[in-house]
Amino acid sequence: MITSKKKNRSQRSKPGMIPDCAYPQADKKCWDSGVLRIFILPLFVVFFLFLVSCKPRTQGNDPTGSFSNIYDKRDTSNYTALDVKQTTDGGYIILAMTDSCPYLLRVDKYGDFVWDTDTEALGDYFEPAPVVLVSGTEYFFFCNVIRKETKYRHLALLKFSEPDNSFIEVDLSSFFLDIANIVPMDAKIMSNKDIILLALNSLHYRVLLHRIKPDGKKAWRRDYNFCISCSAKYPFLDRRFHFIESIEKSEENYYNVHSFLYEDIAQYPACFEITTLNPATGELVETNTLNKPFIATVWHSSDRFSAAYINNDIVSFFINSEKKVDWETQQFQIDSNEGLEQIELLEDKPVFIKTAVVNGQTIVFFAGSSKSDQIVLYTYSVSSGICLDKKYFGGTRFYEAAGLIKTADGGIEILGTTYLASLFDRICLFKLSKEELENMVGQ
């Protein structure tokens, strides 16, 4: 007999009767308190969890800092990505081409839309060079325009001021007003906002190197001829062969300019040269001829470089190679056996290259477009020359690389173009965070 209730004790003493609380579970008050324990407490827990589970429905971003974005304009135009740069606030400015007209898209650091340009307002301009220059909140790019006076193709430098939300065409009359058929190839902006431009004159077969002041005035100007056979052998408008790369030489920043060969020193079968240029004076410090073209280079020092090189229609990578020059002919010596052939890459698409220090290792990143319609990111160790990782961006749809930059937070970003729903070209942007790069590289 187990009970502590007085009432039940009194009932238990009556002979021949079964007490009300003879069995422990039969105690009504015990039963009630059991209900409290069994029902009320779990109900509170369930209610609490229900409240916790009802988070606001918001748009989110990858907490790792990485993102994969495809930008849709909801129209039937094609948007082909050309270049991306990081802005001073950590966001990104993307230069693209829509139906051959220039188009700027500004996104924030998460890759979310901030503003873009009106394609109709820039309808007179066409074929922008695949480089956007950032100077504070001003963005520059070169393109072409048909002047009404001449009805020829002329060079134009457009400046977009973000605070004013307006475009200005920089007056280049001191350089190019009367010169037609100039095709911009690459440009670099310097700390004092001067711009170095590499362009080709398609009418007179000349390579043009100019330093332009922010107001469009001339700082210096250098140009030289190149032979017709070179432009016949390598497409004139293939901008992959004409680029400027900064290089530290004698503790100063110089530039290596890769373009068609200076005709006066042409030596068969060379078509290209690397010109080392003093940006202050425009002085040509050194010129080295090349049998086959580089399509991207990065200089680790004045005599060591990594590059993407085209040999027999195959893209090869050189990792931390030594610059070897035949001093008699001034020819750049390339050892084909040293190159790492990338059979999967399309040989007629650009390759982008950047170096970064990840986990204490100097790494070279290559981004290119594969034959299986994917963007490929290669990660090579400079010290060992070993491929540490390879990432593919793309699958059943068409994706093509258009840019590669290092970001201020230690990550990298890949710009590309995809063929959205197999219908229209769209800009895509992939950010790999510092943590993700560290995982790729390992310790």
Partner 1 sequence: MKTNPKKKSCQILLVFIMIFASLTNNYGSKTSNNDKCKKIKKIAQKMKEAYDNGNLKGVIRLYREDCFEKNTKETNIKPGKEEKGFKTCPKEMRAKIYHWVVHSYYALDKTGKAEPYLKKLQLLRRKGKKVQYDYWLPIKNEIEKYAVVPRLLFGFHVGFNSTKAHPLTRYPIIKPAYAMETDVYGKEYTAADSLGTKIGFMGEYALTKKLSVVLQPSGILMKYRYKNSLKFDRPGESEPITVEFIHQQTLYYWELPILLKYRKYQYSKLELQPFLQAGVYFRIPDPFNKSKNEVKLYENEEFKDETGTDINELFNKFNGGYCVGAGIHWVTGFRDLRVEIEIIYKHGFNNIVNGNHRYDYKYNKLIFGYYDVFDDMKLSNWDFSIKLLVPVYFKLFRRKK
Q: Does 407 bind partner 1 (CB under 8 A)?
A: no
CA distance 218 to 231: 28
Q: Which of 89, 112, 248, 326 binds partner 1 (CB under 8 A)?
A: 112
Task: Please answer whether residues 391 and 399 qualify as being in contact, where contact means their C-beta atoms are separated by less than 8 angstroms.
Answer: no
Compute φ and ψ for 308, nearest 5 degrees.
Answer: -110, 135
Q: Does 31 bind partner 1 (CB under 8 A)?
A: yes
**Tokens of residue 404, six digits:** 């590669």
- Within 10 angstroms of residue 74's Cβ, the number of other Cβ atoms is 4
CB of 346 to partner 1, least distance (A): 17
Q: Does 113 bind partner 1 (CB under 8 A)?
A: yes
Q: Does 4 bind partner 1 (CB under 8 A)?
A: no
Of 57 and 148, the one with the shorter C-beta distance to partner 1 is 57
Task: Please answer whether residues 103 and 122 qualify as being in contact, where contact means their C-beta atoms are separated by less than 8 angstroms.
Answer: yes
Task: Please answer whether residues 359 and 443 qualify as being in contact, where contact means their C-beta atoms are separated by less than 8 angstroms.
Answer: yes
Task: Supply the DSSP string of 213-224, one letter for each residue.
Answer: -TTS-EEEEEEE
Q: Which of 357, 395, 408, 409 binds partner 1 (CB under 8 A)?
A: 395
Q: Does 344 bind partner 1 (CB under 8 A)?
A: no
Distance of CA 347 to the CA centre of its chain: 20
Q: Does 12 bind partner 1 (CB under 8 A)?
A: yes
CA distance 385 to 382: 5
Q: Which residues pair with 5 in a beta bridge?
A: none
Of 62 and 326, the one with the shorter C-beta distance to partner 1 is 62
Provide the pairing of β-strand 361-369 with 352-358: antiparallel
Q: Does 97 bind partner 1 (CB under 8 A)?
A: no
Task: Please answer whether residues 111 and 69 qualify as being in contact, where contact means their C-beta atoms are separated by less than 8 angstroms.
Answer: yes
Q: Does 84 bind partner 1 (CB under 8 A)?
A: no
CB of 398 to partner 1, least distance (A): 10
Q: Does 387 bind partner 1 (CB under 8 A)?
A: no
Interface residues for partner 1 in 41-80 (CB under 8 A)?
42-43, 46, 49-50, 52-53, 55, 57-64, 66-76, 79
Of 75 and 322, the one with the shorter C-beta distance to partner 1 is 75
What angle (nearest 5°) sits at the alpha carbon of residue 157, between those of residues 236 and 79?
70
Interface positions with partner 1 (CB under 8 A): 1-2, 12, 15-20, 22-23, 25-26, 28, 31, 34-35, 38-39, 42-43, 46, 49-50, 52-53, 55, 57-64, 66-76, 79, 105, 111-113, 116, 374, 391-397, 399, 418, 420-424, 427
